[in-house]
Amino acid sequence: MIRARRARIVATLGPASRAPDKVLALAQAGADVFRLNFSHGTHEDHAATLEAIRAAEAVVERPLAALADLQGPKFRLGTFQAGRISVGPGARLRLDLDPTPGDSHRVYMPHPELFAALSPGAALLLDDGKVRLKVLDCGPDFAETEVIQGDGLSNHKGIALPGAVVALSPLTPKDREDLAFALRLGVDWVALSFVQRAADMAELRQLVQGKAAVLAKIEKPAALTDLSAILDLCDGVMVARGDLGVELDPEEVPVAQKTIVRAARRRGIPVIVATQMLESMISAPVPTRAEASDVANAVYEGADAMMLSAETAAGQFPLEAVSIMSRIIERVERDPNWPGLMDAEHAWMEEGDADALVAAARKAAESSSTACLAVYTTTGTTALRLARERPLQPVLALTASVNAARKLGLVWGLEPRVAETPKGLDDLTRVAASMAADLGLAEPHSRIWILAGTPFGSPGAANLLRLAHAPAKGR
């Protein structure tokens, strides 16, 4: 199964979609990566879901990636005596460490680390930003606040501190247990929630130890100020617009999205745009026109993938959501203006031989007689280098590692496949040309550029660019 598009689709699995037959249907409809959301479900649920992903992979005969999304810390208020209170602008509300159920004057906030991050004048957002508080006075165990906006609060509503860096690891004890379990299962990607600084990603990398690729979810404004250092420690990044939109003003979210996508593209690491892309399809069979434009905008930006969350995890129309997203992507990529946008911005080029060879491969492939590019890669690095150049021809990424092939399923424009390590130049040429022809990427006698590194099978820089032609049918 070959995708007729370069941008990829991440589908979140949940009660509406994790049955084996539904996972297979989503893969056939266009899902390339499946997200296991560890904020919900049991370990048994996730184990069964991954088994369904691997079964679907065998049927569609293309690598499917599994992404484990760790929950991260969740800050919530305590309870109220009556279950909820009414508050309005100008009202005073004290937050403290007293676990007694609250009232309209005070409430329990069981997070000493949040009090430590507060200062007079700081803002607190409650209930996804529906209630906004201003800190008037604070200490290590209390905060006196004034309600700036909002009209009510109920038990256990979420808390956010826009702009503040909380002295707390984003890896909670639950996350550490979930991470160990996900790595034992054999997931391909691990996403860390609520990243604030580069040290958070360094901690995750140390725990993962190369058993999976690591991805930072950018959903805290503080992460934007440390974005460059964070990306230096990532294999991928996600624009998590849901929580990011809670702490940023609405007009700032599109700018943040473009900033993150552009920074990731310059580094040549895959970037996912996520949250509320086709939100109305949770309960409707078609998206709004604004949602279709939102997906299209991410494609025009050159994002590697778009993610569906509740649309596929709990919605009424998961299959339709994937199908329509795929159609939107394909339509944008047929726009005559789209190639120019892809060509307008490329990743940073280093001075090494491998980057020069990758750039040469992309340039050589621009000829109209070139059907596709093929790249041999051991760990996926050479394929990533080629993908970051955004070649418009299909790219067949060949690797002897099924794990590397699955990870590459998230990357723009790549068609990863498992193939044995070449025994020599003739074998390299024959396998690449034959597979390109068999998969329908190249017509008989059409030109194929092959990028590889020698010695074969050893991780390292590409040092070989070879021209081949697709075989005639029946050969």
What are 260-302's pLDDT values in tens digits? 999 999 999 999 999 999 999 999 999 999 999 999 999 999 9
**Average pLDDT over the chain, rounded to an integer:** 93
Is 35 catalytic? The answer is yes
pTM: predicted TM-score of the whole model, two decimal places: 0.93
pLDDT at 353 over 60: yes
Q: Which residue has the tokens 């329990």?
A: 108
Would 84-160 and 353-469 be classified into the same CATH topology? no
Please count the CA atoms within 13 angstroms of the CA of 250 that sit on its side-chain side: 2
Q: Which of 275, 312, 370, 429 is catalytic?
A: 275
- First vs last C-alpha separation in the chain: 21
Task: Catalytic residue, from 3, 62, 106, 217: name it.
Answer: 217
User: What pLDDT band is residue 369 in, cutting at 50, 70 and 90?
Assistant: confident
Q: Which of 121-130, 208-217, 231-240, 282-291 has the lowest mean pLDDT?
A: 121-130
> Does the active-site annotation cover 258?
no
Amino acid of residue 319: L
Residue type, 451: L
Question: Which among 3, 6, 35, 132 is annotated as catalytic?
Answer: 35
Residues counted in the chain? 475
Tokens 């690449």 belong to residue: 432
User: Which secondary-structure segment (H or E) carries 42?
Assistant: none
Residue 376: Cβ-neighbour burial (10 angstroms; 0-12, 13-18, 19+): buried
Element (H, E) at 442: none
Beta bridge partner(s), residue 215: 191, 236
Please report the pLDDT score of residue 346 as a whole number. 65
What average pLDDT score do residues 396-422 get?
A: 96
Element containing residue 108 per DSSP (H, E): strand 106-108
Q: 8-72+169-334 has which fold?
A: TIM Barrel (3.20.20)
Q: Which helix (H) or strand (E) holds 66?
A: strand 65-69
Catalytic status, residue 407:
no
pLDDT at 162: 86
Lowest mean pLDDT among 58-62, 319-323, 359-363, 456-460: 456-460
C-beta separation of 313 from 275 below 8 A:
no
Q: How far, rounded to the nearest angstrom, does the alpha carbon of residue 279 sit from its chain's CA centroid?
A: 17
The per-residue pLDDT for 354 is 79
Catalytic residue among 22, 76, 134, 258: 76
Task: State residue 348's pLDDT score.
Answer: 61
Question: Domain map of the chain by residue range?
Answer: 8-72+169-334, 84-160, 353-469
Rounded CA separation 43/49 (Å): 10
Q: In this predicted model, what pLDDT tens digit does every residue of 434-455 receive, in sequence order?
A: 999 999 999 999 999 999 988 7
Q: Are 125 and 57 in contact (CB under 8 A)?
A: no
Domain 353-469: state its class.
alpha beta
More reliable by pLDDT, 252 or 345: 252
| From the candidate CATH numbers 2.40.33.10, 1.10.10.10, 1.10.4030.10, 3.40.50.300, the one assigned to the domain spanning 84-160 | 2.40.33.10
* Res 461 pLDDT > 80: no
356 band by pLDDT with thresholds 50, 70 and 90:
confident
Q: Are 432 and 413 in contact (CB under 8 A)?
A: no
Whether 217 is catalytic: yes
